[in-house]
Amino acid sequence: MNDTILEVKDLSVTFTQYERGFSRRTIHAVEKMDLEIKSGEIVAVVGSSGSGKSLLAHAIMGILPYNSEMDGEIRFLGEPLTEKKVKRLRGHEIVLVPQSVSYLDPLMKIGDQIQNGKKDVSVKEKCLAVLKRYGLAPDIRRKYPFQLSGGMTRRVLISTAVMEKPKLVIADEPTPGLHLEAATRVMGHFREMADDGAGVLLITHDLELALLTADRVIVLYGGRVVEETDAAAFQDERNLKHPYTKALFRSMPKNWKKDGEQLCDMGEILEDMRKEYGR
Ligand SMILES: Nc1ncnc2c1ncn2[C@@H]1O[C@H](COP(=O)(O)OP(=O)(O)OP(=O)(O)O)[C@@H](O)[C@H]1O
Ligand code: NI
């Protein structure tokens, strides 16, 4: 059985900018990215702001901005994921837990959003079961997005995503604004989805949180993969190869030196990176 859910090969995303006069500039926002996710696996994608994380997610979902150009190959369950195909699978077999809570319609009740407008008894029952699973009370269905706390909104976004037992879950920064306990619980929900057979792509700034649950970690910088490793490698810095990954390792609070001495000069590493990657 082929248990590979997603394969991304040589993915590039570029933007063309027109500057004053007639000069044109191409921005290589994602460059020759490769990755693979298997059933049952959580792959964390980490990297600083602007490293191409959301574009990777949007390329897979088929929702890149109109002014971008994509190159490379994306395969889902062994078959090319064409524009037509992803449109059909989106919201069912392939789901996005979006970065922005503005994906919820402010004028639509939560229940209608989770049920995608469907009123059948079976869909309603499914909705109630999913709400229960994520610790939300049934009466949340009658509320509007503005009536929810940040943590509840995140759980609603996840509930919406899992209504149809997805095979691929892409979560783009699912935990900002959540306190540690709530964020840890969200990580647990992704683990459950993976245990149900899904492949999970978890995009985050928060490496420490990702390491609670991820199986593998892909580190991005400037639109490129600089390192890919088992999550377990992060137990010891010596397992990590790239200076940027080492810097991320050292920036995790648990690895701070007790006497306050800085273990590395992050500024120096970033300066080297800028030289190497041109940004
Ligand atoms: N619509 C656009 N037009 C032009 N350039 C864009 C556009 N969207 C993204 N980019 C470029 O691609 C880069 C990567 O964007 P992306 O949203 O993938 O970053 P990210 O890693 O998700 O960052 P964040 O952590 O802030 O969400 C940006 O820094 C920007 O240069
Ligand atoms: Ni992003």
The model's confidence at residue 268, banded by pLDDT at 50, 70 and 90, is: confident
- Among 49, 48, 45, 50, residue whose Cα is nearest residue 34: 45
Summarize the confidence of residues 99-116 as an average pLDDT.
Answer: 89
Predicted confidence at residue 162, as pLDDT, reads: 85
Q: Is 70 helix (H, G, I), strand (E, B) or coil?
A: strand
Ranked by mean pLDDT, the top range of 172-181, 227-236, 263-272 is 227-236
Q: Which amino acid is at 6?
A: L
For the question of an ipTM over 0.90, the answer is yes
CATH class of the domain defined by 4-93+168-277: alpha beta
The larger pLDDT score, comparing residue 196 to residue 263, is at 196
Predicted confidence at residue 183, as pLDDT, reads: 85
Ligand 1 atom index nearest CA of 55? 18
The larger pLDDT score, comparing residue 278 to residue 112, is at 112
Q: How far, in Å, CA of 171 to CA of 194, rounded?
A: 12
The larger pLDDT score, comparing residue 256 to residue 72, is at 72
Encoded tokens for 157: 């976004």
Q: Is the pLDDT of residue 7 over 80?
A: yes
CB within 8 Å of 101: residues ≥ 6 apart? 145, 150, 153, 154, 157
Return the residue whose CA atom lies nearest to atom 29 of ligand 1: 50
The model's confidence at residue 260, banded by pLDDT at 50, 70 and 90, is: low
103 Cα to the center of ligand 2, angstroms: 14
Q: How far, in Å, CA of 208 to CA of 224, rounded?
A: 21
Q: How far, in Å, CA of 146 to CA of 138, rounded?
A: 17
Q: Burial letters for 180-190: b for 16+ Cβ neighbours within 10 Å, e otherwise?
A: eebbebbbebb
160 Cα to the center of ligand 2, angstroms: 20
Ligand 1 atom index nearest CA of 51? 21
- Among 241, 105, 94, 215, residue whose Cα is nearest residue 166: 94
The model's confidence at residue 264, banded by pLDDT at 50, 70 and 90, is: low
Summarize the confidence of residues 196-216 as an average pLDDT.
Answer: 94
Predicted TM-score of the model (pTM): 0.89
CB-defined site of ligand 1, < 6 Å: 15, 27, 29, 47, 49-55, 65, 67, 205
Calculate what percentage of the chain has a pLDDT beyond 70: 96
134 Cα to the center of ligand 2, angstroms: 24
Predicted confidence at residue 1, as pLDDT, reads: 47
Start and end residues for every CATH 3.40.50.300 domain found in the chain: 4-93+168-277
Best mutation site among 13, 15, 63, 66 for ligand 1 pocket (most ligand atoms within 8 Å of CB) = 15
259 Cα to the center of ligand 2, angstroms: 34
Encoded tokens for 18: 């027109």
